[in-house]
Structure 1
Amino acid sequence: MSVVSSQFKRSLFRPCIDLHDGEVKQIVGGTLSDTDTAALKTNFVASHSSAYYAELYKKHNLEGGHVIKLGEGNERAAKEALQTWPGHLQVGGGITHQNCKEWIGAGASKVIVTSFLFSGGEFSLERLESISAIVGKDKLVVDVSCRRRGNKWLVAMNKWQKITSMEVCKESLDLLAEYCSEFLIHAADVEGLCQGIDEELVEKLGEWVTIPTTYAGGAKSVEDLKTVDRLSHGKVDLTFGSSLDIFGGTLVKFEELVQYNEDAMKQ
């Protein structure tokens, strides 16, 4: 059974594998840069391979996890993860209309797209229609990861470095949902900081989304899952990164999240 909150009953833990320079890492999202590599802040570099984490998620039936390629040099590691559990992990990072089918063929359950949809920072409906037609709506996830600007959230592309003109709001999400089956939303301003989730954004997503949605950014406690469940009315799932013990964190135990999901699925 797919452990995805598509029926909007309970928010669940969704796993991730973030790849940078071919290694599994946890990075402070706001420090990624193509031009200033010295600014990069890395919280964790794994001694295990991407396949190790894929096998771990497979063992515990943690469906719907995402493999994110942060820049170049991650193709092999991404494919190793996908081939460890074919048809059960999503992949994102550099996905376009030209390679989306290749990644499905490599074992991805779905492909995740952001930057391709924004030519010069402007949203292109034509590009969204194109990739959705090629890969199929059911196999497409749109990543609307964002940064806060005033009282709004604007989609951020290119490893969250470039702010686009698209606001994350009900209107934009309704439009995107016509062409994809799921959303992935990193709150880039709090990603990797372990200082708490953006509760206001989670609450708004609970009001806006009509398809399965995963939020990432700042989670530091199992209690955050309960908070996300309450604020979003079970419509939004939650990813843990730097706070998690399997990624070198000390705040959250992986076993606790597995148990949470098991209990949630019984209710």
Structure 2
Amino acid sequence: MIVFPAIDLKNGQVVRLAEGDMDRATVYGDDPTAQALLFADAGAEHLHVVDLDGAFAGESRNREAVERIVEAFPGHVQLGGGIRKPSDVEGWFALGVSRLVIGSAALKDPQFVKDMAKEWENGIVVAVDARDGMVATEGWAEVSDVPVHDMARRFEDAGVASLLFTDIGRDGLLKGCNIDATLDLARRTSLPVIASGGVKGLDDIHVLSLHAHEGIEGVITGRALYDGRLDLGAALAMARRGEGRG
């Protein structure tokens, strides 16, 4: 199971939001590249980067910061936020991003996502962000009437790499990952699922890793790392051990 340390970008700074609220941002640093290298030094081979401003604007707003991260980080960078058109996708892959996470466009223009998944094999991740079981878009500012499972099924045969499931009500609050909902989604779809939102410690990593064989591909963690509640090296080791017992 992959552990993705997260770098969320707002005005070029490293931040974490509470429940996706841009007005509830905690700043953890003003050098995203240095943060990426710290994660690499701890053993991370994968990184999850989000352009928060881009998610709301519908286009990249922290491009320079992302470029520097991709250039410096020795592993794989997964990027989300404001990816709405083919030129966005082509541009980021040309820059060296490994996978792109698409959320709002997946709901509003599913054919675009299917076309991109077909063109860029194993490169597109569909974000299924949930608030009370319904899909949220536009940087989580809007909640649709589409249930999470229905959204996931739309892309089962589309060639997407995986689903990224976030329980918005837990994101950035250290309440613990919504493991039951994550597993339910993984069991209802043939696509691998990445868990996100609320990770508070090694217990979350351990339990999720035990279910890797059921389709849990990875877990994203942010605030727990920044607050010192979770040691990245220990999390990476736990993920490897737990998967081995699954």
Q: Please, which of 1, 17, 40 is the counterpart of residue 58 of structure 1? A: 40
Task: Find the counterpart in structure 2 of residue 25 from structure 1.
Answer: 15
Tell me how many residue pairs correspond in the alignment. Answer: 236
1:228 is aligned to 2:211: no
Amino acid at match of 2:52: L
Following superposition, the deviation at residue 212 of structure 1 comes to: 2.8
Give a deviation string over 1:86-128, Cα, whole Å, max 9, x none: 6611111011222101001111001111112333xxxx33222
Taking only the aligned residue pairs, the percentage that are identical comes to 20
Task: Find the counterpart in structure 2 of residue 99 from structure 1.
Answer: 88
Task: Find the counterpart in structure 1 of residue 230 from structure 2.
Answer: 252
- Distance in structure 2 (CA, Å) of the matches to 1:231 and 1:88: 23
8 Å CA contact retained: 2:124, 2:162: yes
- Distance in structure 2 (CA, Å) of the matches to 1:218 and 1:160: 15
Give a deviation string over 1:227-262, Cα, whole Å, max 9, x none: 223466552222221122xx1x14222232133245
- Distance in structure 2 (CA, Å) of the matches to 1:195 and 1:265: 23
What 5-or-longer segments of structure 1 have no aligned partner?
6-11, 33-39
Task: Find the counterpart in structure 2 of residue 43 from structure 1.
Answer: 26
Amino acid at match of 2:63: E
- Distance in structure 2 (CA, Å) of the matches to 1:86 and 1:211: 27
Following superposition, the deviation at residue 76 of structure 1 comes to: 1.0
What 5-or-longer segments of structure 2 have no aligned partner?
55-60
Task: Find the counterpart in structure 2 of residue 8 from structure 1.
Answer: none
Task: Find the counterpart in structure 2 of residue 112 from structure 1.
Answer: 101
Give a deviation string over 1:213-239, Cα, whole Å, max 9, x none: 211111111011122234665522222
Say what the alpha-carbon RMSD is for the aligned residues. Answer: 2.4
After superposition, the Cα gap between the structure-2 partners of 1:81 and 1:234, relative to the gap in structure 1 and judged at 3 Å, is farther
Following superposition, the deviation at residue 44 of structure 1 comes to: 3.6
Question: Would you tell me which structure has more helix in proportion to its own residues?
Answer: 2
After superposition, the Cα gap between the structure-2 partners of 1:265 and 1:250, relative to the gap in structure 1 and judged at 3 Å, is same
Q: Aligned with 1:99: secondary structure? A: helix
Amino acid at match of 2:36: A
Moved over 4 A (4+): 230-234, 264-267
After superposition, the Cα gap between the structure-2 partners of 1:174 and 1:24, relative to the gap in structure 1 and judged at 3 Å, is same
After superposition, the Cα gap between the structure-2 partners of 1:202 and 1:155, relative to the gap in structure 1 and judged at 3 Å, is same
Task: Find the counterpart in structure 1 of residue 197 from structure 2.
Answer: 217
Task: Find the counterpart in structure 1 of residue 58 from structure 2.
Answer: none
Q: Aligned with 2:16: secondary structure? A: strand
Amino acid at match of 1:62: A
Q: Please, which of 226, 231, 240 is the counterpart of residue 221 of structure 2? A: 240
8 Å CA contact retained: 2:202, 2:230: yes
Give me the TM-score of the superposition, normalised by structure 1. Answer: 0.79
Following superposition, the deviation at residue 81 of structure 1 comes to: 0.9
Following superposition, the deviation at residue 172 of structure 1 comes to: 3.6
Amino acid at match of 2:235: L
Task: Find the counterpart in structure 1 of residue 116 from structure 2.
Answer: 131
After superposition, the Cα gap between the structure-2 partners of 1:256 and 1:188, relative to the gap in structure 1 and judged at 3 Å, is same
Task: Find the counterpart in structure 2 of residue 35 from structure 1.
Answer: none
- Distance in structure 2 (CA, Å) of the matches to 1:162 and 1:75: 24
Give me the TM-score of the superposition, normalised by structure 2. Answer: 0.85
- Distance in structure 2 (CA, Å) of the matches to 1:98 and 1:66: 21
- Distance in structure 1 (CA, Å) of the matches to 2:9 and 2:223: 13
- Distance in structure 2 (CA, Å) of the matches to 1:166 and 1:62: 34
After superposition, the Cα gap between the structure-2 partners of 1:102 and 1:60, relative to the gap in structure 1 and judged at 3 Å, is same
1:181 is aligned to 2:161: yes
